[in-house]
Structure 1
């Protein structure tokens, strides 16, 4: 907290506060035109006596509020088919119909749904019974349901709708459970009895956050559907999809079912994350999480409204009240688990490609980067290193020197990561391939419907798939990794192809013809079948059938891998279990742009260690594109350059002198900012914060920020404005209201909330510091281990009143649970803290010193600068930048810098 002209530093073991602001009330009217209304207004019977009258009633429902009654893909919907479902049929005023258009067949207001027939209090809320009197058109309707409403915390509401007569699949992950009802919830829950519906409002403003009365509830064996109105059109999350950061609500269907496919619009991709963040009028935010792993569609429509449509499991969902966006994410990760603190070198520059061909050619690239002084922390290998693409093997000819390469990397404080695919070759001679033989002996492989190991096809050829839902498989996986680590002492794993990917549809023997493989409703999956390029839905795993477990496969492999690495290396993994990269992108400018939405979305989803393949994976890299991508990639939380086989090399040494120099400077800039990045990951680990952050998180009342995905923040203070177009030497960026400083020069920029054009020659990415921040930086070196030992330079971007603050988290960079075991230092930089300052924890920061400090926005040249009351030398530039050097201040002690 800054005033006058004094900077003080405080060293603490923990320091964090959140200020919550109550906004002015903005009530959201219930969507009467297209909604079902409570029983006092509408009955639940279907009136078929007057078709003409019904069509008139259907006609009053506005197009934006039409909820699709015939969502099956490829169906040619006629009036007869539609009205056979007791639904309205009106061709829309614009085409197309169906997946990306206004539905022609939609529910009337009186379509039969469930009624709430009883409700009783429980220790955490209420529990009631729902009854449906009329069957629907999907088979195996569950006519009696149990609904449980849990007021878990003041900002977290949980609702479970289950079948009390028969257990159904539930996602097998541990989530926190409340034992008593929240004292002062920030929400109000209202119930509609006939038809049943939930209305959730924000207590402080009356804003409706959830209203499920807008369309009928479905709960059949293989079809569950629930709709809700949305408070605004500002919806984010719902990963993993290639799209803008802000979702399009113009009849947009997002499908979730993990799939190995290059990022493509309107396609289900690698991950499934059924969580959205919604901004409200006035700047509040809330979140919604559906704890369901089955194949699903999420339909967004312009009412605004949203429909969840899933083909299994239960309806188990959370509403998070925030009220600010950052708090929503913090409350969400309290449920799914906070990200772990990554090992320090995971935040360095990673280099990989498919097609190094030999360990010696891999080694040569590493040496070239060293010779040019380009920083690199980690070298990776794709499947080239394997013997015939077999997991846990080494090509004895082409990669014979790989152990020596890894030894050399370690000698230079660098690390090695290798790829592993889950598919285990099933066709090697008995006794020739231990992973398969031992896997058979321990019974670790997924089985087909007849109980035999399911055989698909991936890189080695015919393969079996480990069942990571079984603890026995975890032990087998560890044993394989440990055996290979004795040959090649790798430092991390790249687990790929774990959707799981299959070059066949299902298996070598096909799949059974049953309702698991061909459900009554199939979401909009690429290929049209659940088994498309993956395993049979009817395949058997220990915890359930693959139909239920498919989208959990990568998570469970990550858990097994992280556990094994902790046992082998006794060091941290990359994240909670792993980080994430955004898949096989293309070397195109559009992919450069969409990568920003990808990293912002995954930060919302609780996976902050995320990045895209720098320069693009497929297609030939262009020099200008690769320079601009390296500049942007230097600000991905996870920064890896990776490209495909037969493509030209695209590491920085592969280009001309000017491009190489620009890439080198971008990477050195990242390394100099490592203290900031590492501290941000600490806050992600402890508080669930984002690292790469949307502007709206810091400026939630500025609606102009809601759709921005060409810029982003690191934390709250560092604004990144990359060039995303070819052939330009400028970039346009939006600057929210306030005072901003050019990171490089300290030049100030006072914005009223406006777009500004910035100069951006090929060797520059624009960075700006937000007023009121103090940022610790370091002199960069070729690895983070060396860089992290360099003296600090503090950059203080002063507010108009001269205030600023910042912080620094520091530990040894690799110990498991360093924070939890108090093996860290946490330093707070403030101005004019008058209370007594005391060192509480000081473990690894004793050797770090502050060598220089710069102050942006010092309005007058000082006559004297004092460091701990002693005169110090300084410089002052006309752009109001004060720099103090030769400080030599150790972070184990409090210090004060002042001027007059």
Structure 2
């Protein structure tokens, strides 16, 4: 929210109450409790007027300091962000005083200096000031509701009227916001806030943490996360489940402004010596991604959405992919596996799938595929199960007790109330019946269009705070059902909506994009923005969702998609099988599918690290190279784990592709006879069947056998060990070889450069079979 008219003036009608002076300080085991006056206190008479802000400065875990700002302290505790769902906090708090006016709280290498008069908080590492909340940086604002009607937190959003909310409740004349600002230092860049598709560095942007279904070409996002990370060794986690408005240098150009229309606002400063350490601490607080089944890293193929498909079509696709050495590991059947107008009925359309159980068993046996079905939490009034939901009280209700419905997606659809245990049980029973038929996982679509105005949830949760939170509860519900059915490490959903905490229930894909170069770049920025926000995995619709991509764009997107964490071919009105784009496209796909299969010992190990440390698979360049300023704006290339640099091609044949190589001697993955010395910008023409993939110096890659044909195989057998630019007489590079199920490691391989030779020495633990060694 922008409150100012320029820097000095306020907008008409806005009344500020700035935190000016600490009038009382108390201390407990983890922090300070402050009473902060919003007017100068010269004598007791000055305490009689105006609000007082209650501020708690505390440390919930090592290297993290929180600031909780409250105007009214009787908030609703029912809807909140779950903290420390996996790992407990690590306590490390010390107190001191800098002088009579300054209290100091230290947690690990992070320090907060709290000055009482004038009131301010400065956050420091051991070497420098990170950021500060200075004089007048914290405030309560009274805002006339006449110019806040577009704020989701304060109105029935006009886009939902009159269909969804025919009787909106009038707004109060004044809306109260809590606002806190943090300084942006010269050269400081801000990243994250979820899956944002605009410029990767968020400086200058106004961002609402409010999930919306807006495609990949707007300022709306499916996965909004109240967390950002900077290139100045800290991150900021805003612990608020509702709509958070973030002005990233867009109101005051040297400040990040954080505001909520609520009585409480809390944020945490998270320090890290490296960006990956920041993500470790953030995901310790909010949860880490689950380890995914090894089969999920294979190629996913979809029927697409508006296309005509039946059991015969599905068989034709799978056979065609098999014949072209593009084996499909997961086949996804999109919306029309159900009858039109009946989504969701959770019943196969008998006209196209007369015997689904027998059919699915047949294609699973013949083609070795897993089956994914499209679902969502919306139930059409024409669905045969709609009356069950109404009778059971399983849907979100209006304030008058009737079922909330609208017509935007399906006729008179209702939304399952996931806060109702009986509704969750009912919904999961429908999915269990599908698992009995032979389904292996679900694409949990939608979850962004959750009503928040004039509605009530079963458990009394604040509807505004449930709007984003709904996506986490929805995906957790389905993920846990799959985990109960198949076991830990065998569950996966393919989800579109998420917010903080949603990273625990992967995988997430980027939503509806066009079939253009620009949309391919949007998908890349969205994925990198998501993975710097605590999410371990990211996927996207290969070829684009809307439209029919030219063969060139399709092939470039295939290369990008198969060097993403998860790879799914999906479109809207046209199929994404490669022969539709020429047989050469199928040959190119076969090459990249085989490469991804061979990389599985490396990729699966990254999944274990995502689960134990919160490190993403797809990494923005600055995550790995924070001291190289040239990497800080890069959003058209990325690291896949710590060792592989991927530079997708976003230009037509005939134009030069440009990307950056950091310092050191890098080796081409596909052409190991080629090396390049960085730091260097490369400009080159890239053949249509190529993708620039460079291996970082000092890397050891374990590769599986050629032509293995699937991502889930025995990673301990037939390994090829590749060593790239190891240091002569340096320490051995130790590589874990995963079992491929859960977090278990089968053993280790140790590789070192032999003195006076170009060869390397390889030692493998018992049970690991090395079939070949390459060094360069």
TM bucket normalised to smaller: 0.7 to 0.9
1:364 and 1:553 map into 2 onto residues whose CA distance is: 38
Relative to structure 1, the CA distance from residue 80 to residue 827 in structure 2 (aligned partners, 3 Å threshold; closer, same or farther) is closer
- By how many angstroms is 1:719 displaced? 1.0
- Aligned partner (choices 522, 543, 552) of residue 615 of structure 1: 543
Aligned residue in 2 for 1:186: 109
Relative to structure 1, the CA distance from residue 718 to residue 436 in structure 2 (aligned partners, 3 Å threshold; closer, same or farther) is same
2:404 and 2:184 map into 1 onto residues whose CA distance is: 43
Aligned residue in 1 for 2:272: 322
2:772 and 2:703 map into 1 onto residues whose CA distance is: 18
Relative to structure 1, the CA distance from residue 598 to residue 426 in structure 2 (aligned partners, 3 Å threshold; closer, same or farther) is same
- What are the within-5 Å matches in structure 2 for residues 110-125 of structure 1? 112-125=18-31
1:740 and 1:81 map into 2 onto residues whose CA distance is: 54
Aligned residue in 1 for 2:500: none
Question: Any conservation in 1 of the 2:36–2:54 contact (CA below 8 Å)?
Answer: yes
Question: Any conservation in 2 of the 1:445–1:465 contact (CA below 8 Å)?
Answer: yes
Question: Any conservation in 1 of the 2:719–2:771 contact (CA below 8 Å)?
Answer: no
1:668 and 1:547 map into 2 onto residues whose CA distance is: 46
Tell me the SS of whatever aligns to 1:659.
helix
Aligned residue in 2 for 1:20: none
Question: Any conservation in 1 of the 2:452–2:464 contact (CA below 8 Å)?
Answer: no
Tell me the SS of whatever aligns to 1:380.
strand
Question: Any conservation in 2 of the 1:608–1:691 contact (CA below 8 Å)?
Answer: yes
Relative to structure 1, the CA distance from residue 625 to residue 179 in structure 2 (aligned partners, 3 Å threshold; closer, same or farther) is closer
- Aligned partner (choices 37, 45, 49) of residue 131 of structure 1: 37
Relative to structure 1, the CA distance from residue 313 to residue 442 in structure 2 (aligned partners, 3 Å threshold; closer, same or farther) is farther
Relative to structure 1, the CA distance from residue 347 to residue 194 in structure 2 (aligned partners, 3 Å threshold; closer, same or farther) is same
Aligned residue in 2 for 1:592: 520
In the alignment, is residue 701 of structure 1 matched against residue 627 of structure 2?
A: yes
2:34 and 2:396 map into 1 onto residues whose CA distance is: 39
- By how many angstroms is 1:861 displaced? 6.0
Tell me the SS of whatever aligns to 2:93.
coil
1:896 and 1:385 map into 2 onto residues whose CA distance is: 46
Question: Any conservation in 2 of the 1:866–1:897 contact (CA below 8 Å)?
Answer: no
Aligned residue in 2 for 1:554: 471
In the alignment, is residue 406 of structure 1 matched against residue 343 of structure 2?
A: no
Tell me the SS of whatever aligns to 1:393.
coil
- By how many angstroms is 1:895 displaced? 12
- By how many angstroms is 1:212 displaced? 4.3
Relative to structure 1, the CA distance from residue 460 to residue 404 in structure 2 (aligned partners, 3 Å threshold; closer, same or farther) is farther
Aligned residue in 2 for 1:205: 127
1:362 and 1:345 map into 2 onto residues whose CA distance is: 20
Question: Any conservation in 1 of the 2:654–2:685 contact (CA below 8 Å)?
Answer: no
Aligned residue in 2 for 1:446: 396
In the alignment, is residue 485 of structure 1 matched against residue 421 of structure 2?
A: no
Aligned residue in 2 for 1:291: 239
1:116 and 1:259 map into 2 onto residues whose CA distance is: 40
Aligned residue in 2 for 1:420: 375
Relative to structure 1, the CA distance from residue 598 to residue 425 in structure 2 (aligned partners, 3 Å threshold; closer, same or farther) is same
1:420 and 1:743 map into 2 onto residues whose CA distance is: 39
- By how many angstroms is 1:81 displaced? 8.5
Question: Any conservation in 1 of the 2:714–2:739 contact (CA below 8 Å)?
Answer: no
- What are the within-5 Å matches in structure 2 for residues 157-236 of structure 1? 157-163=65-71, 165-168=73-76, 171-176=79-84, 182=93, 185-194=108-117, 196-202=119-125, 204-213=126-135, 215-218=137-140, 222-231=176-185, 232-236=187-191
- By how many angstroms is 1:444 displaced? 2.2
- By how many angstroms is 1:427 displaced? 4.7
Question: Any conservation in 1 of the 2:237–2:268 contact (CA below 8 Å)?
Answer: yes
- By how many angstroms is 1:213 displaced? 3.1
Q: Which runs of 5+ in 2 are unaligned?
A: 41-48, 95-106, 143-174, 493-502
- By how many angstroms is 1:622 displaced? 0.7
Superposed CA deviations along residues 222-270 of structure 1, whole A, max 9, x for unmatched, are 42211111234311101232113222x23x21122111121123x2221
Aligned residue in 2 for 1:845: none
1:82 and 1:695 map into 2 onto residues whose CA distance is: 40
- By how many angstroms is 1:445 displaced? 1.5
Tell me the SS of whatever aligns to 1:445.
coil
1:826 and 1:126 map into 2 onto residues whose CA distance is: 48
Aligned residue in 1 for 2:206: 253
- By how many angstroms is 1:451 displaced? 2.1
In the alignment, is residue 536 of structure 1 matched against residue 453 of structure 2?
A: yes
Question: Any conservation in 2 of the 1:196–1:213 contact (CA below 8 Å)?
Answer: yes
In the alignment, is residue 669 of structure 1 matched against residue 598 of structure 2?
A: no
Tell me the SS of whatever aligns to 2:412.
strand
Aligned residue in 1 for 2:215: 262
1:895 and 1:361 map into 2 onto residues whose CA distance is: 40
In the alignment, is residue 581 of structure 1 matched against residue 518 of structure 2?
A: no
Question: Any conservation in 2 of the 1:634–1:667 contact (CA below 8 Å)?
Answer: yes
Tell me the SS of whatever aligns to 1:629.
helix
Question: Any conservation in 1 of the 2:551–2:581 contact (CA below 8 Å)?
Answer: yes
Question: Any conservation in 1 of the 2:23–2:36 contact (CA below 8 Å)?
Answer: yes
Aligned residue in 1 for 2:317: 365
Tell me the SS of whatever aligns to 2:234.
strand
Relative to structure 1, the CA distance from residue 80 to residue 254 in structure 2 (aligned partners, 3 Å threshold; closer, same or farther) is closer
In the alignment, is residue 691 of structure 1 matched against residue 608 of structure 2?
A: no
Tell me the SS of whatever aligns to 2:312.
helix
Question: Any conservation in 2 of the 1:359–1:401 contact (CA below 8 Å)?
Answer: no
- By how many angstroms is 1:419 displaced? 0.6
Superposed CA deviations along residues 646-698 of structure 1, whole A, max 9, x for unmatched, are xx322212221222211221222111111111111111111111211122222
Tell me the SS of whatever aligns to 1:611.
coil
- 206-215 vs 608-617, which moves further: 206-215
2:682 and 2:11 map into 1 onto residues whose CA distance is: 53
2:58 and 2:141 map into 1 onto residues whose CA distance is: 20
TM-score scaled by length of structure 1: 0.72
Relative to structure 1, the CA distance from residue 750 to residue 360 in structure 2 (aligned partners, 3 Å threshold; closer, same or farther) is closer
Superposed CA deviations along residues 486-544 of structure 1, whole A, max 9, x for unmatched, are 3x31110111121136xxxxxxxxxxxxxxxxxxxxxxxxxxxxxxxx55354434241
Question: Any conservation in 2 of the 1:145–1:161 contact (CA below 8 Å)?
Answer: yes
Tell me the SS of whatever aligns to 1:689.
coil
Tell me the SS of whatever aligns to 1:241.
coil
Q: Which runs of 5+ in 1 are unaligned?
A: 1-66, 72-76, 87-106, 135-140, 502-533, 833-854, 869-887
- 319-328 vs 784-793, which moves further: 784-793
Aligned residue in 2 for 1:625: 553
Aligned residue in 2 for 1:476: 426
Relative to structure 1, the CA distance from residue 788 to residue 320 in structure 2 (aligned partners, 3 Å threshold; closer, same or farther) is same
1:757 and 1:172 map into 2 onto residues whose CA distance is: 49
In the alignment, is residue 153 of structure 1 matched against residue 74 of structure 2?
A: no
Aligned residue in 1 for 2:293: 343
Question: Any conservation in 1 of the 2:195–2:527 contact (CA below 8 Å)?
Answer: no
- Aligned partner (choices 728, 731, 747) of residue 801 of structure 1: 728
1:704 and 1:728 map into 2 onto residues whose CA distance is: 26
Aligned residue in 1 for 2:148: none
- Bigger-Rg structure (1/2): 1
- By how many angstroms is 1:812 displaced? 4.5
- By how many angstroms is 1:764 displaced? 0.6
Question: Any conservation in 2 of the 1:599–1:610 contact (CA below 8 Å)?
Answer: yes
- Aligned partner (choices 381, 388, 410) of residue 333 of structure 2: 381
- Aligned partner (choices 369, 375, 396) of residue 350 of structure 2: 396
Tell me the SS of whatever aligns to 1:269.
coil
Tell me the SS of whatever aligns to 1:455.
coil
- What are the within-5 Å matches in structure 2 for residues 269-284 of structure 1? 269-280=221-232
Relative to structure 1, the CA distance from residue 660 to residue 297 in structure 2 (aligned partners, 3 Å threshold; closer, same or farther) is same
2:29 and 2:714 map into 1 onto residues whose CA distance is: 54
Relative to structure 1, the CA distance from residue 198 to residue 445 in structure 2 (aligned partners, 3 Å threshold; closer, same or farther) is same
Superposed CA deviations along residues 419-439 of structure 1, whole A, max 9, x for unmatched, are 1121113355xxxx3x43443
- Aligned partner (choices 190, 197, 201) of residue 242 of structure 1: 197
1:426 and 1:386 map into 2 onto residues whose CA distance is: 14
Tell me the SS of whatever aligns to 1:708.
coil
Aligned residue in 1 for 2:157: none
2:262 and 2:421 map into 1 onto residues whose CA distance is: 24
Paired residues in the alignment total: 698
2:433 and 2:238 map into 1 onto residues whose CA distance is: 40
Relative to structure 1, the CA distance from residue 741 to residue 824 in structure 2 (aligned partners, 3 Å threshold; closer, same or farther) is closer
Question: Any conservation in 2 of the 1:774–1:794 contact (CA below 8 Å)?
Answer: yes
- What are the within-5 Å matches in structure 2 for residues 33-182 of structure 1? 68-70=2-4, 82=11, 85=14, 112-133=18-39, 143-163=51-71, 165-168=73-76, 171-176=79-84, 182=93
Aligned residue in 1 for 2:687: 761
